[in-house]
Amino acid sequence: MDRPWYRFYPEGVPRSIDYPEMPLHGLLERSASAYPEKIAVVSGENGYRLTYRELNELASRFANVLISMDAARGDRVALFLPNIPQFLIAYYGALKAGCVVTTISPLARENTLLFQLNDSEAESLVVYEPLLPTFLKVASSTKVKRIFVTGGDTNKPPQLPEGNYHWFDVVLSKYSPEPPKVEINPKRDLACLQYTGGTTGTPKGAMLTHFNMVSNAIAFSVWTRCRPAKEVFLTVLPLSHIFGMTTSMNAPIYTVGTIVLLQKFDVKKVLETIQSYGVTVFCGVPTMYALIVASPEVQSYNLRSIRCCISGGSPLPPEVQRKFIQLTGGVLVEGYGLTECSPGTHTNPVDPSMKSVKIGSIGLPWPDVDARIVDLETGSKTLPPGEIGELVIKGPQVMLGYWKRPEETREVLRDGWLYTGDVAKMDEDGYFYIVDRKKDLIKHKGYSVYPREVEDVIYEHPAVKLCAVVGKPDPVAGEVPKAFVVLKDGAQLTADELINFLKERLEPYKLVREVEFRKELPLTSAGKVHRRLLREEELSKASK
């Protein structure tokens, strides 16, 4: 198989990496052994800090708690937590006990929480105290029998429901900081059961092994050339999401970085945090970077500590990329991944000169990753450079399959290749480009309109802060492109003005036929614009 991308690998990045066959929590244990007094975690909310030694010992204490309460090897431990230090303690502690972590977005409603707890058959739950009422509404319908409640104030006296409820911070103090002896087979045993809409849209658990997660954390660190014990990571991506989990927790732990936690994305707080802590690495979704460059206050902050930023989760508008680089002097490049791949597979070279960065591309496959474009109809024919088809991937980070869903596993895993459901192309140099999701494709009078292409042009308008394009059902054309737009503060723009702007830049069949201005757009838990909800709104209107 021809791999033209190797010619453009950054200096010092190997084609293949000798990954250690170690459990995921081994990354923490190794870093704690080498740099015990290095600050591992800082809460950006209140300044609370943990050294690597303290984090490792607290994780071991929680492992011993679980084992003492008869949590068996392979049992699922659910984390219903925001970005707080207790997330890391519970995460690595559950792994040390031989358990499997399943994370739940702190934004989840009762139905989502109930589904994931029951589908994963979780018997242990670590929950943030403000989220406890949500769990209590569904508790009797789950198999959860050990509940650990935590909050920001460790001195708060426990006032918990009757039953097997424990104050997390109190119970930790009662157990040994010595790590338990639990055998882990890194390539076979699961570390995470990570829920995703996947390639078909229905929630299902991607079974990710310790080796999947370790290899991805290391590959990310190698690709971004993280400097051991010198990086400061801004962790505002939710740790409950695989993108944040790998790039903003596991990779920093591997490189002995300092993790600065923020519970939610607030532009002013993010700007203050970057300046105060000298953040060097910041992974986010395009919405975050778009809001930063659109902020009227951004020029008041010193962001020059930024060395490397990776954008993922959805396409990065080129205009946003250019403006962010000008503001920070750091590198912002687009990457790509999906939950089924732990999640990273591609990124543009982290090249300060930007000479090997291709704007609009997701970049090159990481070390040990094979990728190709296959035909959309059968998925069996490999297409040449320049042709559009489905992106398929093979590598050490690819999941074992979907939890309790053998048929859906067979659909996406074929002969060792993961079929991503993303429409893409590869150029002659081996750079890949996501055209769009197969399910987001707009069919207009027989033409294929890719929302991303239209959105990128809309973002070029100086009045636009956020946007999304979806297909609106039409009895004649099948679908017509419709744009949802949020304007920058104080900006003015009419629908006709925007459409005329697009007419100069897009073919007629790609033009939006309707523009709806809103004060905000729905966002996913990872901060991406939620196209699916907007599309469902239009389908609902059409059916009435």
SS (H, E, C) 276-317: HHCCCEEEECHHHHHHHHHCCCHHHCCCCCCCEEEECCCCCC
Whether residue 539 lies inside any domain: the answer is: yes
For residue 291, give the CATH number of its domain.
Answer: 3.40.50.12780
pLDDT number for residue 288: 92
The CA–CA distances, whole Å, from 403 to 117, 205, 358 equal 13, 5, 37
Whether residue 23 lies inside any domain: the answer is: no
pTM over 0.75: yes
CB within 8 A of 201, min separation 6: which ones? 439, 532
Q: Give the closest residue to 439 by CA, choosing from 423, 424, 455.
A: 423
**Could you give the CA distance from residue 69 to residue 480 in angstroms, rounded to a whole number?**
57
Whether residue 244 lies inside any domain: the answer is: yes
Residues 110 and 208 in one domain: no
pLDDT by residue for the chain (544 residues), tens digit each?
Answer: 689 999 999 888 999 999 999 999 999 999 999 999 999 999 988 899 999 999 999 999 999 999 999 999 999 999 999 999 999 999 999 999 999 999 999 988 888 899 999 999 999 999 999 999 999 999 999 999 999 999 855 555 557 888 899 999 999 999 999 999 999 999 999 999 999 865 445 689 999 999 999 999 999 999 999 999 999 999 999 999 999 999 999 999 999 999 999 999 999 999 999 999 999 999 998 889 999 999 999 999 999 999 999 998 777 888 899 999 999 999 999 999 999 999 999 999 999 889 999 988 999 999 999 999 999 889 999 999 999 999 999 999 999 999 999 999 999 999 999 999 898 999 999 999 988 776 777 878 767 787 888 998 999 999 999 999 999 988 777 789 999 999 999 999 999 999 999 998 888 889 999 999 999 999 877 777 888 889 889 888 887 7
Rg (CA), the chain: 23
Whether residue 10 lies inside any domain: the answer is: no
Residues 69 and 158 in one domain: yes
For residue 145, give the CATH number of its domain.
Answer: 3.40.50.980
Of 116, 150, 183, the position where a domain reaches its end is 183
Question: Is the backbone peptide bond immediately before 343 cis, with ω within 30 degrees of 0?
Answer: yes
Residues 421 and 306 in one domain: yes
Whether residue 26 lies inside any domain: the answer is: no
pLDDT number for residue 199: 45
pLDDT number for residue 317: 85
Of 411, 437, 463, the position where a domain reaches its end is 437
H/E stretch holding 29 = helix 26-34
Of 437, 457, 485, the position where a domain reaches its end is 437
Q: How many domains does the chain have?
A: 3
Q: What is the DSSP letter of 250?
A: I
For residue 486, give the CATH number of its domain.
Answer: 3.30.300.30
Residues 92 and 174 in one domain: yes
Whether residue 160 lies inside any domain: the answer is: yes
Residues 360 and 502 in one domain: no
Residues 291 and 203 in one domain: yes
Domain coverage including residue 127: 31-183
pLDDT number for residue 45: 84
pLDDT number for residue 156: 58
Residues 161 and 213 in one domain: no
Provide φ and ψ at 184, rounded to 5°.
-125, 130
Residues 284 and 333 in one domain: yes
Whether residue 114 lies inside any domain: the answer is: yes
Q: Give the closest residue to 103 by CA, choosing from 266, 251, 239.
A: 239
Residues 281 and 362 in one domain: yes
Provide φ and ψ at 262, rounded to 5°.
-125, 135
Residues 317 and 402 in one domain: yes
Residues 393 and 467 in one domain: no
Whether residue 21 lies inside any domain: the answer is: no
Residues 150 and 222 in one domain: no
